[in-house]
Structure 1
Amino acid sequence: MEKEGITILVVDDDPSLRKLAQRILSQQGWQVIEAEDAVTGIEKAREHRPDLILCDVQMPGLDGFGFLRELRQSPALQHLPVILMTGDESLVRLGGQRQAMDLGADDFLPKPFTVAQLVNAVRGRMERLRQHQTCFADHEHRWKVILDASNDVVALAEAPSLRLAYLNPAGLRLVGWSETEVAQRRLTDLLGPDLPGPVFAEILSTVAEAGQWRGQLKLRDGAGQAVPVAATLVVHHSDARATTFYAFIGHDLRERKRIEHALQDSEARFRTIAAAAMDGIVVLEGSGEVVFMNPAAEQILGIKAVDVLGRRPEQVLRPDTGKPLFDLDARPGSLRFECPVQRPDGRRLDLELRLSPVELDGRPHSVAILRDITEQQNLTRQLQQERILLRTLIDALPYNVYVKDRLARKTLANKADLKALGAETEAEVLGKTDYDLLPRTVAASCYADDMRVILHGEPVINRRELIINRAGGRQWLETTKLPLRDETGQIVGLVGIGRDITAYLETEAKLRMLSQVIEQSPTGVLITDAEGRIEYVNPRFTEMTGYTLEEVRGQNPRILKSGKMDPAVYRELWTTILGGRIWRGELLNRKKNGELYWEQALITPIRDELGRINHFVALKEDITELRNAREERNRMEIQLRQAQKMEAIGQLAAGIAHEINTPMQYVGDNTRFVQDAFQQMSGLLQTIRSLLSSSDPARACEQLIEELLRRAREADLEYLLEEVPRAIDQTLQGVERVTKIVRAMKEFAHPGSAQKTPTDINHAIETTVTVSRNEWKYVADMELDLDPNLPPVPCLPGEFNQAMLNLIVNAAHAIADRLGHHPTTKGRITIQTRRQGAWVEIRVSDTGCGIPEAIRDRIFEPFFTTKPVGRGSGQGLTIVRNVIVDKHGGTIDFETEVGRGTTFILRLPLQKQEQKQKTTPA
């Protein structure tokens, strides 16, 4: 067991593998540090600076490739050697290894591995690290050896395109090409047509596996002659991670003297290679002065070599910060860092700088390799933005989206999937199977589908599955699972997309329930298309009309028409529903057997997702019996209202009788007086009659005159001439008063019409005042302030008279309550009418006791009264409100003050407020 003082960091999410690696490596005398994930690994690498890192590729969150990428981007950690480990067969192959190497991995260790394999991999890596350091220390010497051997053909070709990036002069001379042709050539052009394709492929395979290939080849010179060469082909992975090169060295076996010549021209070759390099090359002496700068460095930095040679880099300042253009800190070992640079022309770029110490002619020097990574950085940022955008889109999808590896472990889960699993963050589910996340019964079904996809490549399409997470959440998903393949076509996992159909299934169940409700509904249902063609009727429709669905499908609802409805009804119906509104009304239709029936219909349009009407739905109810009952009720209501009027008249009968008796009293007295006066005048009249009938009027004249004078004295003719005309006038006034009372009684008691008619409101009020005179004349004076220009008001006269009577009687009672049992004064009742725009306002005011605040919100309630038993039924104001508001579409309000009186304010519309009768299509 050896003790080397080496520290090794093991990064793996599997604790058992970390413990195994720790035990094996510790037995070799190496110190081992553990990290359970990539983020922790970065932190511990920054803290301990280990000599070697072993890192697993597949980890939740940041995987091994991401860990390596983060490590190589850190100037302080980028030099640390890393061996990646994986058990994924697809990554063990050449493509996965190449991806790891491109990211900067130093080795690749497949899992599972033996103790010997792990130890050998670590020892080999440490040995190569020592060699690498030695190689860097002797870097300039190797260049000089290559240049000294420039009599050999030296070529650099980019991988995998095999495009020639450089061909040394010996090669150009050998093949007869110009320098401008090199960029248009490939490595296969150099090796010539004599090399079969399979052989070349085998050479490349050997290079990929062993790092180099040696053998003999025949090149063709400019004259087409075969030139045997001892060939070496090696692969070189750029430290910049951007490019891999194939280096070809061909030693001309015909002319060994070319080697000496190449050695003499090594410096020229070096400069030629440096001049052709795409990266900038700057060589500094140990003291820090620049001794060489190639054209690429000039182009990258935007400065000329003559302006820099012989100066220290810190003497070349950046325009943006005033600091050195780049800081070449001559510390031991290789140094790589990135820095922003602003060229003298103002252009900003991102620069990658790699600094290596070398020894030239026994003196320390430094070689700085500069690379413009602006485009690469922009591409990296763009890729990162696209990755963020893609992830944002995946998370924003309303579907459950997830990815699983070959072991059915979650490697990606979007927000919808996390919600279904009852998880808050993706870290809670990554690396776990359904058995870790779901109840076993649910997980078993899902796992079986996963294995079908992963092992056999069979997709699962639109499988319905009930997901119940451990928190008890339930969700129905319609899931599709597809195999996930790598670039070689091998299945490496699966992609799952699940659509939440919980609401859909609930809606489907509701639709089934609604379908049953419609089928069993006691209301007839009829559905037509937008053209009015019947598509569906329910069984109740068949019961109502006698038509079955088969008989009416495709028919127009007009087959139900009775022919007795006003055509305007149907025009109004279609105008309403085609305008997108609901129509309600009653129709007289005809059944299949010819029988007429009344139906109550509601028709509503149905719109599609674009808002266009595509169907109509009609709900129908047979109301024939209801309508007959309603007509009977209306007749009874009219009779009831008439009875109520008669009851009111009966209640007023005593007062009306008194009102009639008073004028009839003096009509009778005056009539008897006229009768007595006539008896007294009858003798005088008889004498005059005898005088007129005498045959000798002249002889009887004197005697008759004496008789007339006597009769006139007996009859008191002067008195009769004065009083009889007065008695007759009084009698006529009494008759007129009685006639007025009787006429008012007749008008008040008339049943009136069921329809509103234009009515003289002022006359109706005067009639009611006359009828109710005996109720108010002992307690109040009546004041009428009626607008003579008031237009006729559409109303029900009988109903209005009843309302006014109730208000007048209530006013009289209120005044009587205030005055007490033995009043010495009277109150006042004032009735006023005015027009207010489209309304007529009637005010009924009294000087009564007012309405207490505690009962103001109850005065219109049926049967509510504060009057003693026998004086009020509690229906008066209820009837007033029903008449004014419900039957006339008006309003009623009141103003009151306790101890001062109340004013009721009625407002009636001058336009009819009746709803138009509406009907459905038949």
Structure 2
Amino acid sequence: MGESVLKTLVVEDDYQFKELITDILKQTGKLNYQIQHATTLKEAFELLDNNEAFDLAILDLHLPDSSGLETVQRLRAYNKELPILVLTGQREERFAQRALEAGAQEFLLKEEVLPGLLLRSMRYAVERKHTEERLKESEQRQKAILDSVQVGIFVIDPEGHTIVETNPAALAMIGKTREEVIGRICHEFVCPILEGKCPLDKTSKTVDRSERELICSDGSLLPILKTVATINLNGKKHFLESFLDITQIKEAQVFLEKSRQKLEQEVGKRTKELEKAKNQWESTFDAVPDLIMIVDQNFNIIRANQAVAAHLKTTPRLLVGQKCFQLLHESKSIPENCPHLQMLKDGAHHMAEMTEKSLNSDLLLTASPLKDSDGKVYASVHVARDISALKKAQRRLSEQVDFMRALVEAIPYPVYLKNTQGKFTDCNRAFAQMYGKEKSEILGLNSFDLAPQELADKHYQTDQALWKNRKSQIYEAKIISGKNKQLDVIINKAVFHDSDNNPLGIVGVVVDITERKRMAAQLIKAQRLDAIGQLAAGIAHEINTPTQYIHNNIEFLGEAFENVFGTAVSSPESNDDKPHENSTASSKNGNPVLCAKEDFQGLSIDIKDALDGCLEGIERISAIVSSMRYFSHPGTDHKAPIDVNNALEHAITVSRNEWKYYADVKTQLDQDLPYLEGYAAPLNQAILNLIVNAAQAISQVLGENPKEKGLIHIKTQRLGQTIEIKITDNGPGIPEEILPRIFDPFFTTKEVGKGTGQGLALVNAIVVEKHGGNIEVETEIGKGTSFIIQLPVE
């Protein structure tokens, strides 16, 4: 409802009464009432169907096409949001209650329609409807409260006394699970002696603070203080049974009983006073919970309802003739913002809020003029409504908003809000500082105002995807800061909604990971250098072996050539075709060398074998050096094509001294693998770590100087747009209890000094974070483990 216009639908078939309402509304002061009429319920439905946004409906219960409470029910069913003010000629208070239960927000007798009372009732109907809507929003909070309170609670279906809902406190008291309680008869747990003769046979009955016993799962009886009230649940009345463990407060039982008796006496006394004061007119007047007084021009009380008398602890009769400001405000002078004072000045309706310390209440005061037949104001209808709960809720809400705002400002991470149009509506100090701007300079901008086109396009695309699937997003991106520095960040975004679950905007949190990524790159480099250092001795040994037999072959070749050429020099007259029989020569070490033709032929074969051995050794050394150069290459900061099979072969060569004593390596490499777009140096490190881990796992099983070897099987294949690398060993396997932790940094099962716990953590970081891939582990105790790496081709 706006502050200046109230669109009102009047559903009334009595023309004169309709005109009366119209005249009253037109004579009001500040509020402008836009009125539409309907003489039947059908006409009202048609107006509502024409998208007329009414703030209030004034409804006659007796129409040509509908009569009685059915009229309220039909209108409420047709439009669940529209506030309804019921007009009728029936005075019965029970009838008024039934109208409210049928869906009306306010009830007014036709013959008692006064200008001030009508306006107050209209405003009350609208405000009550708004209150009902706010109550819906609090249902989720009520559920949280139900689960958090330390009082046991049962919600009971009155028809069969079966438990339909409970809370954790109740389950803890009786020692049962939720499944063991829901659907059971309440008397199985509470008040067993009353089973079959429960006093709560009607939903109109309640139990207030009654001592009972609760049956626990072990059969013991727990003394409790039980309260039963009636609530509406899913359109049906239920018993809300709450019980408190009073084992520790049993000593106060006598005091509580006396207090209860005193309370009953006081309630009885008040009830008798109310019954004596009732009459035909006051039955409606006194039913209103607001403090209502008729006040004349001299601020004297002409009449007051029972609510006023109750607040002032007196009777309505004794209030007549006294000054309203002296009683209500306990003041000797008239308050400057008194609505009755303002009404006397301009003859219009006025409203004001006041805090009354004497009543310990916040009040909403309204004064509506009463005029005589000449149009002269002679009094006002003075209404005071206790809005203490509303003001308290507003203060708490304001405090929560201030707390959340301070919390967001204190968070070191940049936080922002966007509306559905993609414009920034709020942000914290860290977000503004990231872009080198003041907060006021950012509000109203969008991503294209803060980021280059390419980066802004990505932000826009992720926002659109978020609006579509409504699921939170976490992704890595780049941002150009206010200092024109490129930052690597992780952005966490989600959609936030209003109370009707309509999307209002996007909230995002930005985490700067630039330094983290730099440190990760340094860690990978350091790990690679550490691995090179650890493998250096083994590689030296691998190079030394072919070097040794190259050296031996060259020595043999030197001796062979010396003997051959020495024989040739000592026999210059010899005929090549006819060698001297039994001719001999001496080798360098004194051994005779036969120089017959067939001896030269045998020697040439040995020389060729020696030369082949030298070439083989040189090729072996060249392969080791090539693999070492490939592995130790620092790589680049950007992705480049990688031959995965080639990387595996180099890793096998470099790590040979780690596995050759304990295992054989079998490869099954897909020769049709495409090149992988990635970072070569980190990927080589990850592959090497897994091969070395496999060799070490097998060595744990075989021990020192094994009589047999294990097996490391390495396989590659293409699966769609993914390259899969599978490295399998037949080691001991990984125990189930440590499997979830193997990729945690610094976690290791090796002895102190033999492992840092960084190997698999680094593999996970390289595969998942740096390449956007996936790593899985298949293991079986006593049979071995497989590490399966899946990398996207692009």
TM-score, reference length from structure 2: 0.50
TM-score, reference length from structure 1: 0.43
Bigger relative CO (Cα 8 Å, ≥ 6 apart) = 1
Task: Give 1 or 2 for the bigger CA radius of gyration.
Answer: 1
